[in-house]
Amino acid sequence: MLNIIYIFSRFICFILVRVFFRLKVFYRYRIPRKGALIIASNHASFLDPVILGVVSPRVLNFIARDDLFLNRFFGTMISFMGAFPIKREGGSSGAFKEALKRLKEQKALVIFPEGTRTKNGSLGKAHSGVGFLAARSEGIVIPVYIDGSDSALPRRRLFIRFKPIKVYFGKPLGYKDTTKIERRDAYQTFSDLVMENILVLKSNV
């Protein structure tokens, strides 16, 4: 049931995104077709998960804010789309356990290292979560930069504007803890490296 709903929804969204946002995708070939995968993207708009779901050749799993599940109908629908909740105020261990479970099953997971939408398309500081997941799952990390979603649907705006959107996939990164520092600091160091790669993608736009 999940794949049927996901594939049908992705097809509909793909048509809409191509028509209204003139979507262009670069370096999609860098996405491995199998194995544990973490897609680590910048986050400036509510459109970002939809855009990533459309452009990825693989079925994606998403960590979503827990308040999005308060509406039973909407919560059920995004669950079918591979989303699962994370508590915004602490208590995120359950979400990370579920994320690791799905990565261990060789699935693909989307994570926004900044943790929340940033303002004006700027890049924020990464949290250590992407480093933790990469280390524990031994999955490949693909940095991604989405350009234009903040113009199409900025923060605190209710109406979508039909602006061009481009998606750039970076080179795969693998977690290697070769340092002598504390493990949590090593997770943060890797997360910072991911954000540096996203910044490189942005600078080449």
Q: Where in the chain are the domains? A: 2-203
Q: How far apart are CA 153 and CA 169, in angstroms?
A: 21
Distances (CA, A) of 95 to 12, 20, 61: 29, 34, 12
Question: Above pLDDT 90, what percent of the chain?
Answer: 45
Candidate list 10, 43, 107, 127, residue with the active-site label: 43
Report the topology of domain 2-203: Glycerol-3-phosphate (1)-acyltransferase (3.40.1130)
pTM (2 d.p.): 0.87
191: pLDDT strictly greater than 90: yes
127 is catalytic: no
90: pLDDT strictly greater than 90: no
What is the per-residue pLDDT for 73? Answer: 60
Reported as a single tens digit per residue, the pLDDT across 56-82 is 999 888 877 677 666 676 566 566 666
Q: How far apart are CA 176 and CA 186, in angstroms?
A: 9
